[in-house]
Structure 1
């Protein structure tokens, strides 16, 4: 089976990787982290989230981070949960936003304070206004492979929710294994179901967590299905508050090591990236969970 010749790594470390950190990371450290990731060749770096600071105190300085980045940050994606978040992105002249939906009723209620169907009414004006202002919009859908309260999530349900989010006006849909329970066979089955529903591989991205050590295997399965955009977090930063054993996102270094071994172009300077993760681990006061960082550092 042929694999893609090139992939895009969507770096989520500054946003998804840091958002669950209990000790507040200084704004200057976040800005330096982002700049180091860009210097290492990451083509897309998701910088922060304009969520209310009550919910994610770690990202309360989102406006300060983006203001410090200035022009270099205008094209970096930021998460906006609603129209208020979009207003803040527009005030700063940003060009790329993302919304974050749920494939399950329970997580929608807990994370969005909306029902599964009600979430679309919340997102519709946000996406419409963003598109009218010329912004690109990405849509995340979480709990695609399993939900800690509902268990297995039916694939047709994931496809229906994902397509509804995408059809609001997004350019790409990222499928999230939020609690890291996915397996390679499940990944293939879900991606094939989206293909059968008319979505193309360039419209889809994957976002894996490594709770059960399956993130790299799942990424390879997605490669076999033609996916070319992979979310990852430098040093494996992140996790999920709903899965106590979650070790974080798929580590960018681990993904790059695999891609390099397969001869798949990704544009990332692995040594520079490892150096960045070692530095960030020092800032956070603990070693990186990335196997490649551990091996090369």
Structure 2
């Protein structure tokens, strides 16, 4: 008789235990609770405290590996499901900085072997890249990118003006390149915890190029005079061209809002037209606007960067 009395009690306890919902996070933490509702991006649930009171809580679907409800089979929060929902922090700001090289810049210079060594410094420089993207889901975003590049070089070479008479002429270069374009951002998360992020970007826009050049050399009449003055010639070359950019980064999420990593990018640019303005202390002036260049300037470069991203 006692067995029949206890049987309903065991059945009730068994059904109650089985009816409890379960949420497993991407960090493999298990939450025993009662799931109240599930929307596009969050799970709302109730958690019973030690004192018997009920606390209402919620968790983002992007942080859920799988969940089990009392009235249905286990549901996995698959990558496809996560990627189809809008992230909690859809705005992504990126900042990259590092070293750059333009290995094709000097290709069009004649008698390359005769160029002074300081010209080679123009092939390397520093860059700062900034980007802003809106993430429609965890793998796709649209936005804009800006990139700034700077390099400079200076040096002097002796010139023979008369047998056994050598005088020094000097040169100074400053190169600036600003890129602005629309951008598509792709992100992949190779691990279940989504701590590691691989980001690829494709961008197309405009390159704004500026070169400042100064040449200081002795006056042509130096041979006929016991004293002479230097002539300074300042030149400014500017131009715009269509440009394209591809990038790849590997990052680690320090938190939901911040990730850091390393990356590289390639910017393609070919300057075919430019404007030139030249002024000298000897009153020699010259200018030309939007002139077709006989040989296009190869401004393509490779960037190596430290990467910082902020999500909000």
User: Structure 1 length as normaliser, TM-score?
Assistant: 0.17
Asked which structure has the greater RCO (Cα within 8 Å, sep 6+), the reply is 1
Instruction: Select the structure that is richer in helix.
Output: 1
Instruction: Select the structure that is richer in strand.
Output: 2
User: Structure 2 length as normaliser, TM-score?
Assistant: 0.17
